[in-house]
Amino acid sequence: MEKIRKSEEEWRRQLTPEQYRIVREKGTEPPFTGEYYHHDAKGIYRCVACGTPLFSSDAKYESGSGWPSFYQPLAEDRIDEALDTSHGMRRIEALCARCDAHLGHVFPDGPEPTGLRYCINSAALKFEPRD
């Protein structure tokens, strides 16, 4: 997948302040507050920064964590992972493979068939309903 490269000023012009804080500064929205936390429409969740299709509503589930949760991405090449040791924790960060937007984190406590929980900030996503 070809990378999208933009200056921070270009990202600031494109994104809302909240989106920028989360996807470019690795922020987190408060739990149970995001637009897509209780969202159950059918469709595709895209990266808010570059539009890459990341997750299907078919893989979304209620984890009780306070953030939208998915057990798998649309394809393995859509999400990059990086070690995150911020806040005195050891976590796996989930990033958009195309633009390096911070999406959230991946945890090994999800449902089958993957056993993974992609815990994603709503502000990092844009929903496209299925026709």
Each residue's pLDDT tens digit in the chain (131 positions)?
789 999 999 999 999 999 999 999 999 999 999 999 999 999 999 999 999 999 999 999 999 999 999 999 999 999 999 999 888 889 999 999 999 999 999 999 999 999 999 999 999 999 999 87
Partners of 52 in beta bridges: none
Q: Which domains does the chain have, with CATH numbers?
A: 8-129 (2.170.150.20)
The number of angstroms, rounded, from the C-alpha of 56 to the middle of its chain's C-alpha atoms is: 12
* pTM score, whole prediction: 0.95
Instruction: Please tell me the distance from the alpha carbon of residue 23 to that of residue 49, in angstroms, as a whole number.
Output: 8
Task: Indicate which residues carry an active-site annotation.
Answer: 119
Q: List the beta bridge partners of residue 44.
A: 56, 128
- Tell me the C-alpha distance between 1 and 115, whole Å: 26
Here the tokens at position 16 are 């809302």
